[in-house]
């Protein structure tokens, strides 16, 4: 049924919800990444795969969708997923470019893994192999832009991975609750 005078919102910002769904699904399928986040020991990669309940515990504790970090004594490895730097696409003004950032934050006591491996870089490798050159909801594929070191405090540091994405009018389906 068509509602007279109602036009569904059309915005590339609506694609963020879809992208977050795809990103979290991919993270849930990556057993190595989940072990690196969940287990704090040097042999995290040799530990058993997480149960479904343990995997679900990661969200809100180790994996953050809101860029606010609550540090407690039991969780020491984090990923914060954020969307930043929205600009009009230079080739087509109907599209928007943005950057998807993965902030990897680890307590310094958790950095060292076995055999010269460093946890933030192993986490970065898992994220990069999962998302670089992969398609989310936008046009084209994610392109790796770079990585920067993050030093938060004298206890926490890590990396910020950045990927460029291009979005058009991604949400072709109208929003469920029209309130205008």
Per-residue pLDDT reduced to its tens digit, 112-132: 998 889 999 999 999 999 999
Q: Rounded to an integer, what distance in angstroms lies between the CA atom of residue 98 and that of residue 19?
A: 12
Q: Does domain 26-167 have CATH number 3.40.50?
A: no
Q: What is the pLDDT of residues 12-51, one digit of tens each?
A: 677 788 889 999 999 999 999 999 999 999 999 999 999 9
pLDDT (0 to 100) of residue 179: 43
The domain spans of the chain are 26-167
Sheet containing 63-64: give its strands across: 63-64, 77-88, 96-107, 156-167, 139-151
Using CA atoms in the order 11, 14, 20, 25, what is the torsion angle rounded to 10 degrees? Answer: -110
Q: What is the pLDDT of residues 54-89, one digit of tens each?
A: 999 999 889 998 887 777 677 689 999 999 998 887
Look at residues 105, 171, 103 and name the one whose alpha carbon lies nearest to residue 138: 171
Calculate mean pLDDT across residues 89-104. Answer: 86
């Amino acid at each position: 049924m068509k509602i007279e005078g109602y036009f569904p919102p059309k915005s590339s910002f609506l694609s963020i919800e879809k992208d977050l769904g795809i990103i979290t699904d991919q993270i849930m399928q990556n057993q190595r990444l989940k072990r690196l986040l969940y287990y704090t020991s040097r042999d995290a990669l040799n530990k058993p795969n997480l149960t479904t309940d343990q995997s679900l515990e990661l969200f809100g504790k180790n994996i953050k969708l809101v860029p606010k970090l609550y540090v407690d004594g039991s969780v020491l490895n984090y990923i914060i997923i954020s969307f930043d730097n929205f600009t009009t696409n230079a080739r087509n003004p109907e599209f928007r470019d943005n950057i998807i950032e993965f902030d990897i934050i680890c307590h310094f006591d958790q950095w060292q893994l076995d055999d010269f491996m460093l946890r933030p870089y192993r986490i970065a490798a898992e994220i990069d192999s999962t998302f670089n050159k992969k398609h989310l909801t936008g046009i084209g594929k994610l392109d790796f832009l770079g990585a920067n070191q993050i030093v938060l405090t004298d206890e926490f540091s890590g990396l910020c991975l950045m990927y460029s994405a291009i979005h058009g009018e991604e949400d072709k389906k109208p929003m469920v609750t029209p309130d205008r």
